[in-house]
A and B are shown apart, each in its own frame.
Chain A
Amino acid sequence: MTAAPVLKVEGLKKYFPVEKGFLRRVVGQVKAVDDVSLTIGAGETLGLVGESGSGKTTIGRCILRALDPTAGSIQFQIDDELTVDMASISKRELRELRRYANMIFQDPYYSLDPRWTILDIVGEPLRLSKLADGAELEDRVASLMDVVGLEAKHLRRYPHAFSGGQRQRIGVARALATNPRLIIADEPVSALDVSTQAQILNLLNDLQSEFGLSYLFIAHDLSVVEHISDRVAVMYVGKLVEVAPKDQLFFFPKHPYTEALLSAVPTPDPDVAKKRIILPGEIANPADPPSGCYFHPRCQYAQDRCREEEPALREIVPGQWASCHFAEELELVGAPQ
């Protein structure tokens, strides 16, 4: 990715206040996203993995300004001339720029309004961005249906008439409607069965090559992320702990948390003998994180330094960044090849 990235996030923070009592005094901060920097190139897929509560979805929502970030910049390249900082633009500007970045949601059952027809649902972003109206809108929606593999004659049906996989296709069509550059896919296949999941993953791949889309692909299923991503970022308690091209990350991880995640993924082959690393305890509380490295209470390699000093995210080998004091010394085990 030598060209300027489509998305460049720097120092992104999102803190939620913890309030207490009648006067709603702020007694603390939940650091849902804490100083995250990442880039996504044109036509690139960045996978974002991490456990529930690690802040993956909050990052996605901040990028689209569904949430106002606490700090940081989100440089979004609209076209060759124009790059805007999504973190600081006004609501009015935002309305005009929304069409360039869209979201696909996890649950195809709850993310579509049951009282709207497919034409309404897929056409809404076009109407809001004043890109099409009337017959033109209907034509455009019909061609979108075709793009995602649904029949255009079902335009006036309601979501309940479609299966889970078809509904997710409707969600994809809606996200594509305004010709965006960037799509944030938040767990787009985790509610689907294996065979349907494969259909949607293939569709997302095809659309990317056809329209040069950039994806931020948020998921907790590492096999799915490995399949679709070019690069992968791993989050733990609001921070990125590792970012690398996918083969580097999956086969030569540099952070002990990545290693533990990889070892926990069940392999669909009974003959692969694998040592599962069972992490002790639970994911840290982002309102009261441990000292030093957030991962140290669960890390089998932790030493005194990890308890005291917070590691920075640094480039260990070209293109591979990890935040571990001992990233160079540790010989971590990747996924079975």
Chain B
Amino acid sequence: MSDLPQSDNQAMNRAEPVIEIDNLGVHFALDEGALKAVDGVSFAIEERQMFGLIGESGCGKTVTAQSLMRLVPKPGRIVQGQINYHREQGGLIDLANVDPAGAEIRDIRGNEIAMIFQEPMSSLSPIHSIGNQLMEAVLLHVANSKREAYKIALEMLDLVGIPNPAQRMEEYPHHFSGGMRQRVMIAMALSCRPRLLIADEPTTALDVTVQAQILDLIAQAQTQFHMAVLYITHDLGIIAEICDEVAVMYLGRIVERGSVRDIFHNPLHPYTRRLLAATPRIGQHAERLQVIDGTVPIPIGLPHACGFCSRCPEMIAGTCDTALPALVELEENHFVRCFLHDERKEEAV
């Protein structure tokens, strides 16, 4: 990926990057061997950008997000790469090389970088009131007194559209519906005014009308707080509606990256194309949906080759299964990792 940083710099002349991920690798040491959950991922998120990360289960999108917070569960480990985070008050810190339990990351996690998850119930404590949980986060990072923390927590609940916030502060998570819990999680994430919000499938467990409310809320919060957002989802529709930039992941690698228009109107990687074709659209009137044959292989001991080649109908035998294509910038800010478009290889490390 030697040709990457240069081209990235060009794209980033428009705005300052908040975080730059370079050649990130996360492996899980299992009995069967090293599971390469994330294998050489590079991208950057600019200030105020809505960056979408899309892929199916097991493609490594969640582990990528966990790495940014240094929350990768054991036996996972960051084995290579850098996560360069530009701090609020200036200065650069490589999050891949800090102690995951140390003071530095604790100062950033939940404060400058916040995260919301798919299932808000499992991220909230059932035995503490909503108010206490919110105030805990605020006290840790911004507020100096309980009184101030209470005021901020109340403001945040009001901001995310929870009616009667003073009364709701006293209640417990089980009193809240799924949509309301997700609002609480967003209130908690926003309470420290993060520069980067990581949203990991925050609406997957919600109904479509509630999803619309939450997407609206995230978009509003982004404008209001000038946040960058890393939005992780498997839903192409959400990406198309809210994101500026998109990276498509397959088997731990980014296979295509570009503006949302490029990805949807000019998809170049066979996986992106097939993913789009497999998605039912209202008014499409297709008798049959295009399918992607086969299943995703388990990323243990795979050859150094294109991860999609076992399912790709356009696979070039002897090429795609013997070498790994490099992620190449084919058009301005449109990167593709596929031998059909460019023959440059990425050497094994």
Contacts and interface: CB of A to CB of B under 8 A. Distances in A.
Given A222-B282, A265-B237, A195 B177 contact: no
Interface stretch (A81-89, A133-141, A271-279): A271-279
Given A163-B295, A198-B289, A278 B213 contact: yes
A97 interface: no
B29 interface: no
Given A194-B278, A268-B264, A51 B207 contact: yes
Interface string A246-272: 000011000000001111111111111
B30 interface: no
Contacts of A164: 57
A195 B209 contact: no
B240 A278 contact: no
B65 to A, nearest CB: 18
Nearest to B205: A52
B56 to A, nearest CB: 4
Contacts of B276: 268
A35 interface: no
Interface residues on A, range: 35 or more
Nearest to A268: B236
Given A165-B295, A202-B291, A268 B177 contact: no
A296 to B, nearest CB: 16
B312 interface: no
A248 to B, nearest CB: 13
B170 interface: no
Interface residues on B, range: 35 or more
A270 B261 contact: yes
Contacts, number: 128
Contacts of B239: 268
Contacts of B291: 195, 198-199, 202
B240 A269 contact: yes
Interface stretch (A12-20, A223-231, A324-332): A223-231
Contact of B283 (A52, A196, A250): A250
B278 A260 contact: no
A337 interface: yes
B280 A269 contact: no
Given A193-B234, A266-B238, A227 B286 contact: yes
A313 interface: no
A227 B207 contact: no
A89 B179 CA distance: 41
B223 to A, nearest CB: 16
B260 interface: yes
Contact of B289 (A166, A201, A250, A263): A201
Nearest to A263: B212
Contacts of B180: 282
A264 B281 contact: no
A336 interface: yes
Interface string A200-212: 0110010000000
A194 B207 contact: no
Interface of A: 51-52, 163-166, 193-199, 201-202, 205, 220-224, 226-227, 250-251, 260-272, 274, 276-279, 282-283, 335-337
Given A227-B280, A269-B264, 6 more contacts: A194-B279, A196-B295, A198-B290, A202-B288, A268-B239, A276-B216
28 contacts: A193-B56, A193-B234, A194-B236, A195-B274, A195-B292, A197-B278, A198-B278, A201-B289, A202-B289, A205-B288, A220-B208, A221-B208, A223-B237, A223-B282, A226-B282, A227-B280, A260-B209, A263-B212, A266-B215, A267-B237, A267-B281, A267-B282, A268-B237, A268-B264, A270-B261, A278-B213, A335-B282, A337-B283
